[in-house]
């Protein structure tokens, strides 16, 4: 039996799983690490701590599996995207903590760039709607604000990396300075048309090219781990950002296939094939992966508040002992009883793009109870997903016949059934909902021949449950119409 070790470095925890050649998870280990919020809007991680949690998780995962390290044929890496580390080439020490994707500290830099260059110029080249979220502003922030760093960068003494790059550099004992195309496409300095670092953007942003890693196919020879890590040299042969890895893990290999992850927020990605469609409505165009020299693109849309609204009714309103109980409570009533919930805690994303909107419940009567309100919260995830999916369908000009789901809230059968009713398409939940880590394992294993082609990988993904639309188109639209009215009403209240 051959095994692939998959490293999934997330925003709140580091996770490592060992996958066998049947695509089954043999063992897993996980460790949380600290979040730092030194000032309002700042979110930082300690890159050294991140690496240590990865090392410990690798060791624990291998120990738990009872297999020989020599049976591991490859390592795959997937990671929280956009998070930025800059370190000293000679000492290996970061010059500043990792600036996490959520951190807003580069807001002003982005505003300045947009005023100078125009948002459309940046969007057309990178597929990204300029935002503090992406790495470029974070790199610039470190160069401008950390003493002595700018000069060192000019002298070629520093290196930049997203978390995949940082981990490969550390795992290889400083031998690998590389990233894959999917991670590069989240930096806002990568041209997704010619698949190279964009010289014009680098010049405009004043980012020295000597900082940047080489960009490789998602399935390729990145290099070997240092023997100090696991006792032998192990090849790293698959790398992708977390959402792209999940799209791969869900085996969305053909244009039109969509995955939606229901976590804190929702992330929907659609495979759009080999041509990058640039959205007019705020969806992002991103590189899904590059395999054997062939690039696949994806459209990406996100919902800011999804599972976190369930946490909110659990913790702030005290309606539920656990998020899991939301299904039972919501199922205790026949329908939402006319109650709608708009979770605009931080404004509204696609297709509304309204930063000032705030959340609200609508349609309350004296008979409304916590079951109705809970149901309305669950339904709001399905409506928001429909909002994003409709946009995607329109922009990509591809019909959607099925969505593949994962993430914590995808375990909720009531929600998934309502989702199928809202989308009027199949909602397919796999047996293994660890799509992200599995995706990285698939990429790595594909490159070293554990699986010979995409067809073989496709066969490894087993359905847990497929939800079919159970409500007429008309009835589904009635619910959706009320949702749209609720969104309008909520935007009116400012």
Binding site for ligand ADP (CB under 6 A): 263-264, 307-308, 310-311, 323-324, 326-327, 407-409, 411-412
Strands (E), 306-370: 340-342, 360-362
Tell me the closest approach of the beta carbon of residue 160 to ligand ADP, in angstroms. Answer: 26
Q: Give the nearest distance from C-beta 269 to ligand ADP in angstroms.
A: 15
Q: Residue 117 Cβ, how far from ligand ADP at the closest point, in Å?
A: 33
Question: Least CB distance from residue 431 to ligand ADP, whole Å?
Answer: 16
Backbone angles phi, psi at 266, to 5 degrees: -115, 140
Residue 214 phi/psi, 5° resolution?
-75, 150
Strand order in the sheet with 284-291: 284-291, 294-303, 266-273, 258-262, 402-406, 426-430, 463-467
* Cβ closest to ligand ADP, residue 272 vs residue 415: 415
Run of H or E including 17: strand 13-20
Strand locations in 242-376 (E): 258-262, 266-273, 284-291, 294-303, 340-342, 360-362
Min CB(323)–ligand ADP separation in Å: 4
Query: Among residues 208, 11, 198, which one has the least CA distance to residue 101?
Result: 11
CB of 42 to ligand ADP, least distance (A): 20
Calculate ∠ Cα 312-409-456, nearest 5°: 155
Q: Which is nearer to ligand ADP, 241 or 307 (CB)?
A: 307
**10 versus 127: smaller Cβ distance to ligand ADP:** 10
Q: Which residue has its beta carbon closest to ligand ADP? A: 408
Measured from the CB atom, the residue of 124 and 311 that comes closer to ligand ADP is: 311
3-state DSSP call for residue 44? strand
Provide the β-strand partners of residue 298: 271, 286
343: which 2 tokens? Answer: 């979770």
Structure tokens of 258?
Answer: 């969509």
Is 347 in contact with 356 (CB distance < 8 Å)?
A: yes
DSSP string, 45-61: E-HHHHHHHHHHHHHHH
The whole-angstrom separation of Cα 424 and Cα 386 is 10
Q: Which token pair is 291?
A: 């395999």
**Shortest gap between Cβ of 246 and ligand ADP (angstroms)?**
10
Report in angstroms how near the CB of residue 322 gets to ligand ADP at its nearest.
8
Q: How many CB atoms lie within 10 A of CB 150?
A: 17
> In angstroms, what is the C-alpha Rg of the chain?
22
Closer residue to ligand ADP in complex, CB, 29/310: 310
Measured between alpha carbons, how far is residue 389 from residues 51, 139, 400 in Å?
36, 32, 8
- In whole angstroms, the minimum distance from the beta carbon of 482 to ligand ADP comes to 21
The SS3 assignment for 330 reads: helix
Query: Closer CB to ligand ADP, residue 10 or residue 47?
Result: 10
State the minimum distance, in angstroms, from the CB of residue 375 to ligand ADP: 11
């Amino acid at each position: 039996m051959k095994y692939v070790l998959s490293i999934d470095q997330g925003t709140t925890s580091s996770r490592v799983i060992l996958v066998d050649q049947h695509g089954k998870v043999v063992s897993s280990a996980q460790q949380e690490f600290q979040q730092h919020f030194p000032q309002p809007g700042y979110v930082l991680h300690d890159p050294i701590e991140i690496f240590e949690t990865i090392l410990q998780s690798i060791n624990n995962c291998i120990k738990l599996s009872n297999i020989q390290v020599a049976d591991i044929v490859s390592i795959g890496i997937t990671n929280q995207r956009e998070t930025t580390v800059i370190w000293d080439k000679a000492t290996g020490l970061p010059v500043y903590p990792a600036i996490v994707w959520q951190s807003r500290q580069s807001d002003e830099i982005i505003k300045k760039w947009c005023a100078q260059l125009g948002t459309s110029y940046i969007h057309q080249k990178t597929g990204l709607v300029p935002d503090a979220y992406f790495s470029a502003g974070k790199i610039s922030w470190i160069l401008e604000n950390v003493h002595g760093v700018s000069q060192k960068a000019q002298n070629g003494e520093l290196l930049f990396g997203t978390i995949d790059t940082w981990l490969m550099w550390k795992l290889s004992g400083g031998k690998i300075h590389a990233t894959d195309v999917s991670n590069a496409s989240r930096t806002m300095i990568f041209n997704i048309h010619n698949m190279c670092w964009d010289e014009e953007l680098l010049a405009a942003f004043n980012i020295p090219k000597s900082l940047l890693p080489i960009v490789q196919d998602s399935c390729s020879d990145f290099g070997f781990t240092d023997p100090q890590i696991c006792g032998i040299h192990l090849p790293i042969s698959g790398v992708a950002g977390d959402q792209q890895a999940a799209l791969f893990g869900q085996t969305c290999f053909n244009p039109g296939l969509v995955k939606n992850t229901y976590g804190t927020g929702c992330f929907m990605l659609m495979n759009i094939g080999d041509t990058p469609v640039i959205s007019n409505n705020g969806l992002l165009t991103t590189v899904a992966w590059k395999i054997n020299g062939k690039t696949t693109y994806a459209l990406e849309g996100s919902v800011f508040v999804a599972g976190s609204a369930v946490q909110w009714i659990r913790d702030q309103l005290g309606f539920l002992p656990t998020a899991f109980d939301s299904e039972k409570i919501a199922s205790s009533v026949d329908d939402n009883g006319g109650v709608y919930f708009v979770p605009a805690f931080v404004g509204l994303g696609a297709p509304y793009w309204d930063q000032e909107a705030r959340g609200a419940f609508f349609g309350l009567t004296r008979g409304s109870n916590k079951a109705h309100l809970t149901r309305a919260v669950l339904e709001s995830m399905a409506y928001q997903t429909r909002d994003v999916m409709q946009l995607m369908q329109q922009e990509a000009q591809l019909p959607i016949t099925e969505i593949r789901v994962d993430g914590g809230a995808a375990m909720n059968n009531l929600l998934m059934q309502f989702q199928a009713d809202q989308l009027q398409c199949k909602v397919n939940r796999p047996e293994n909902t660890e799509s992200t880590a599995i995706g990285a394992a698939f990429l790595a294993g594909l490159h070293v021949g554990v699986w010979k082609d995409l067809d073989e990988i496709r066969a490894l993904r087993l359905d847990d449950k497929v939800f079919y639309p159970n409500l007429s188109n008309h009835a589904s639209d009635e619910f959706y119409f009320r949702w749209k009215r609720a969104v309008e009403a909520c935007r009116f209240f400012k």
